[in-house]
Amino acid sequence: MAVAEKQQTVIGASVPRLDVREKVTGAAVYADDIQFGPGLLHCRVKRSPIPHGIIKRIDTSKAEKLPGVKVVVTGADFPDRIGLYLKDRHIFARDRVRFIGEPVAAVAAVTEEIAEKALELIEVEYEELPGVFDPVYGASPEAPLLHPELGTYEYPNFIFPKPGTNIANHFKIRKGDTEAAWPQCAAIVEHTFRIPHVQHVPIEPHVAVAKAEENGQVTLWASTQSPFAQRALIAKALHIPESKLRVIAPFVGGGFGCKAGVTMEAIPVAVALKLPGYPIKLRLTREEEFYTNFVRQGLVIKIKVGCDKDGNLLALENTMYWDGGAYTEYGVNVTRAGGYSSTGPYDIPNVKTDSMCVYTNHPVGGAYRGFGMAELHTGIDQAMDMLAEKIGMDRVEFFKKNCIRGGDVLATGMVIHDVGIEDCIDAVARDLNWGVKEKPSGPNKVRGKGIALAWKAPAMPPNAGSSAIVKLNADGTVDVSVGGQEIGQGTFTVMAQIAAETLGVPYENVRVTGPIDTRYSPYEWQTVASRLTWSMGNAVRNAALDARQKVLNVVAEAWQQDPKELDIKNGYVISYRTEDTMPLKDVVVYGIPKPNDQGWIGGPIVGTGSFMPTYVTGLDPETGQGDRAVVHYTTGAQGVDLEVDLETGQITILKAVSAFDVGKAINPELVKQQMEGGMVQGLSSALFEECKLEKGVMRNPSFVDYRIATAIDVPPIMDTFIIEHAQDDGPFGARGIGEHPLVPSIAAVASALHDALGIRITNPPFSAEKVYLALVEAGLAK
């Protein structure tokens, strides 16, 4: 181990992505590209047109008679519930529908056109019920009950549903005494923020193809972040023995959380079970992608926060109403993450948090890059900005005074590890020329700067595990098998770097085998939570160490030396004692002949490794207190310099800056790419994005009406800084960075907007229209 640590060559090197040549030549295979031949059937889904109602009658007989239709299924065929945490949903609605777009029936036909036509022939009669379209109302006793059976659902022990209400999870923190603290505060800010639903918008829509065989084997090909979780959940809900469901997962054309858990993938599997022998393909239209898929749930966040006359934070009350939607695949755990992280990266002695996941008749809340943290920070960081202003302190000074430091006790009772957030604040402030007022580019324009902080822990069950296989080939190359998915973040590249470094082979000799296939790939919980570099990286490192030791043992026996005297460097086994060398290819498959034709030593070398955190503890349901709520936090800061056109309300972001403490950047360029891409996604949500929901109807389900940032909208200057305070249990000290860069963006823009205009506009998106109307109201524009 000590020897392996010494030879750091490819860790911290920005080697090119493993998958890039395939991707620039069009050779990379995505789920929609797999060819299934003439037997392929096309699946379309009949969906609920109403937000809430009882299904009185479904008649599929006309659809079944349409030539070209092979099978029609409804909820009557599939009685069991499905769900990642709280099992509260059916694959097809059975007695009740709870959101517009909820699957009610599905058709498989020889063409998509015939399948579409068949949907029109399915008759569904509903009795419409009053709906819930606001989480605060939904949590009140007046609201109609959306899940009367809540008390009967299965759920894990860290979720706290309240049967008889619409509250699917209620997470609490009670630390210190907020009531006693308020009188000691020199300044208090109280504000309610509303953050709208947004969509993930991967450029690749969801695609899933399923085929059942006569022998009971079922295969699912899907664009997915979660092949193993999908196998487990779908198998259970459809009574398929888990090992008989095989999920094959090629490259994913963007995930951002929407291809995690089970979204639509159970539908073609359910259909396939009724029609063995045929591959059944469901590909969502862009419109379905917008209005039927998991969303980033909306949030109403009420914050009361106070500090003493020197700006030291004393108390926080944070009440969050998450708009969980009709079902809670992820919503209950977003609520929990929002709860245990509800202070943001600030050291606050007295905390009272109530984080509630509320059922509504909106689309299902899913995992979205940041997992609640962007929404939380949109509230908490704006409140901090207001409090700094109220107490008369510079925001950067205020943030630095109050940000967490290694050894602090968090609101849950966990002691935080070494964090580099102060370095991140300094890097951003310096790069932004903090404190210097910039000149606007013309009359009727104003400039402003803003800064916001971020923290996020991997939000996952305490025992989410990883595993890896490192296999050496006869030509000296290495195949690394993992179950975590390449969704664009570059994880295959990083895993190859970790394997190469640990084994002592050139990076170019390492391949990460895809597609992920639950039959052949080792287990991985899910590609979510920015956990792969850390968790799967540890598994790969352990597998590579295992392979390395096996090689050294074989060579040591052949050379009659102590394995401790040997090392592997650049693909060669070397002896520090005798300076003997042997290329790996001469050892790793065929073994080494003993002298004088007296037999052989060794054999094919395969290393295995796994990793699972074992130290995360439960939290008290009433106080949220426990020894260790999470594995670790990644922290950072972001700032923007922007200009507002007073005549139009349009915001132009001139420069955006990010700094994050990633522990150790295995591949610095990939880290910077995550920071830039995440920042743009965050800025896009700050300026443009919102699912316009009216009584459960999404009014903007297209790229024309739901705008995301284009090449013209992004800041021409994006600076990124890598801060490295090592993670004690990360591979080479690394921790995750995938989600974090979009967490502070909305609050950073809001802060800059206030700096520019002197007025506060607190609820995103900060569209030109919204800004202009606020300017008119404030008398700044006419």
- Closest CB to another protein among 25 and 614? 25
- Closest CB to another protein among 313 and 374? 374
In which element (H, E) is residue 292 found? none
- Closest CB to another protein among 576 and 703? 703
Catalytic one of 112, 739, 769, 777: 739
- From the list 18-26, 156-164, 233-241, 380-388, the region that binds another protein by CB under 8 A is 18-26
x/- string (CB under 8 A) for another protein, residues 648-687?
---------------------xx-xx--xx-xxx------
Q: Which long-range contacts (CB under 8 A, 24 or more apart) does 612-620 make?
A: 612/463, 612/464, 612/465, 612/466, 612/535, 613/462, 613/463, 613/464, 613/535, 613/729, 614/463, 616/462, 616/463, 617/462, 618/157, 618/158, 618/462, 619/158, 619/340, 619/412
Distances (CA, A) of 322 to 167, 590, 693: 10, 59, 15
- From the list 13-21, 102-110, 131-139, 303-311, the region that binds another protein by CB under 8 A is 13-21
Task: Please state, in angstroms and rounded to a whole number, the distance separating the CA atoms of residues 534 and 334.
Answer: 21
- Closest CB to another protein among 718 and 757? 718
- Closest CB to another protein among 623 and 710? 710
In the annotation, is 287 catalytic?
A: no
- Closest CB to another protein among 616 and 683? 683
DSSP 372: T
Contacting another protein within 514-573 (CB under 8 A): none
Question: Per CB under 8 A, does 441 bind another protein?
Answer: no
Tell me how far, at minimum, the Cβ of 145 lies from another protein, in Å. 37
- Closest CB to another protein among 92 and 251? 251
Query: SS3 for 711-722, per residue?
Result: CCCCCCEEEEEE
- Closest CB to another protein among 19 and 134? 19
Tell me how far, at minimum, the Cβ of 678 lies from another protein, in Å. 8
Question: Per CB under 8 A, does 377 bind another protein?
Answer: no
8 Å CB contact between 453 and 667? no
Tell me how far, at minimum, the Cβ of 491 lies from another protein, in Å. 11
- From the list 90-98, 272-280, 350-358, 709-717, the region that binds another protein by CB under 8 A is 709-717
Contacting another protein within 278-307 (CB under 8 A): 285-286
Question: Per CB under 8 A, does 39 bind another protein?
Answer: no
Do the bridges between strand 592-593 and strand 478-482 make them parallel or antiparallel, or are there none, so unpaired? Answer: unpaired
Task: Please state, in angstroms and rounded to a whole number, the distance separating the CA atoms of residues 582 and 588.
Answer: 11
Choose, by CB under 8 A, the member of 1, 2, 6, 27 that binds another protein: 27
x/- string (CB under 8 A) for another protein, residues 89-128?
----------------------------------------
Residues near another protein (CB under 8 A), total: 55
Question: Per CB under 8 A, does 23 bind another protein?
Answer: yes
Q: Which residues of 152-163 are buried (b: 16+ CB within 10 A; e: fewer)?
A: ebebeebbbbee
8 Å CB contact between 714 and 348? no
Tell me how far, at minimum, the Cβ of 589 lies from another protein, in Å. 29
Question: Per CB under 8 A, does 708 bind another protein?
Answer: yes
Question: Per CB under 8 A, does 714 bind another protein?
Answer: yes
- From the list 30-38, 337-345, 565-573, 608-616, the region that binds another protein by CB under 8 A is 30-38
- Closest CB to another protein among 250 and 483? 250
Burial class of residue 479 in the structure, from the number of CB atoms within 10 Å of its CB (0-12 exposed, 13-18 middle, 19+ buried): middle
- From the list 45-53, 177-185, 416-424, 702-710, the region that binds another protein by CB under 8 A is 702-710
8 Å CB contact between 426 and 625? no
Question: Per CB under 8 A, does 25 bind another protein?
Answer: yes
Contacting another protein within 384-403 (CB under 8 A): none
Choose, by CB under 8 A, the member of 1, 6, 711, 782 that binds another protein: 711
Tell me how far, at minimum, the Cβ of 543 lies from another protein, in Å. 26
8 Å CB contact between 358 and 168? yes
Tell me how far, at minimum, the Cβ of 28 lies from another protein, in Å. 5
DSSP 534: I
Task: Please state, in angstroms and rounded to a whole number, the distance separating the CA atoms of residues 588 and 552.
Answer: 10
Interhelix angle 421-431/395-402, rounded to 10 degrees, is: 170
Task: Please state, in angstroms and rounded to a whole number, the distance separating the CA atoms of residues 369 and 528.
Answer: 8
Contacting another protein within 187-206 (CB under 8 A): 200-205
DSSP 665-732: -SSHHHHHHHHHHHHHHHHHHHHT----EETTEES--STTTS----TTTS-SEEEEEEE----TTSGG
Choose, by CB under 8 A, the member of 5, 8, 33, 463 that binds another protein: 33
Question: Per CB under 8 A, does 28 bind another protein?
Answer: yes
Residue 310 token pair: 């020197």
Question: For residue 54, what are the contacts with CB-CB under 8 A and spacing of at least 6?
Answer: 95, 96, 126, 127, 129
- From the list 21-29, 262-270, 399-407, 544-552, the region that binds another protein by CB under 8 A is 21-29
- Closest CB to another protein among 482 and 680? 680
Burial class of residue 593 in the structure, from the number of CB atoms within 10 Å of its CB (0-12 exposed, 13-18 middle, 19+ buried): middle
Residue 46 token pair: 């009949």
Tell me how far, at minimum, the Cβ of 23 lies from another protein, in Å. 3
Choose, by CB under 8 A, the member of 12, 13, 15, 16 that binds another protein: 16
At residue 578's C-alpha, the angle toward residues 577 and 582, to 5°, is 115
- Closest CB to another protein among 33 and 627? 33
- Closest CB to another protein among 441 and 710? 710
Contacting another protein within 229-268 (CB under 8 A): 251-256
Question: For residue 238, what are the contacts with CB-CB under 8 A and spacing of at least 6?
Answer: 78, 80, 91, 266, 269, 270, 273
Question: Per CB under 8 A, does 31 bind another protein?
Answer: no
Choose, by CB under 8 A, the member of 2, 24, 38, 598 that binds another protein: 24
Sign of CA dihedral 541, 543, 544, 548: positive
- From the list 70-78, 338-346, 427-435, 710-718, the region that binds another protein by CB under 8 A is 710-718
Question: Per CB under 8 A, does 704 bind another protein?
Answer: yes
Tell me how far, at minimum, the Cβ of 608 lies from another protein, in Å. 29
Tell me how far, at minimum, the Cβ of 14 lies from another protein, in Å. 8
**Tokens 């202070």 — which residue?**
343
Tell me how far, at minimum, the Cβ of 721 lies from another protein, in Å. 16
Distances (CA, A) of 769 to 645, 688, 707, 774, 776: 11, 10, 14, 9, 11
Question: What are phi and psi for residue 508, nearest 5 degrees?
Answer: -65, -20
Task: Please state, in angstroms and rounded to a whole number, the distance separating the CA atoms of residues 298 and 455.
Answer: 19
Question: Per CB under 8 A, does 776 bind another protein?
Answer: no
Tell me how far, at minimum, the Cβ of 541 lies from another protein, in Å. 24
What count of other Cβ atoms lies within 10 Å of the Cβ of residue 781? 19
Do the bridges between strand 478-482 and strand 466-472 make them parallel or antiparallel, or are there none, so unpaired? Answer: antiparallel
8 Å CB contact between 366 and 325? no
Q: Dihedral, CA atoms, 470, 473, 479, 481, nearest 10 degrees?
A: -50
Residue closest to 226 by CA, chosen among 201, 268, 255:
255
8 Å CB contact between 446 and 581? no
- Closest CB to another protein among 132 and 742? 742
Contacting another protein within 444-503 (CB under 8 A): 487-490
Report, as residue numbers or ranges, the catalytic residues: 739
Q: Which residues are near another protein by CB under 8 A? A: 16-17, 19-30, 32-33, 35, 200-205, 251-256, 285-286, 487-490, 669-670, 672-673, 676-677, 679-681, 702-704, 708-712, 714, 716, 718
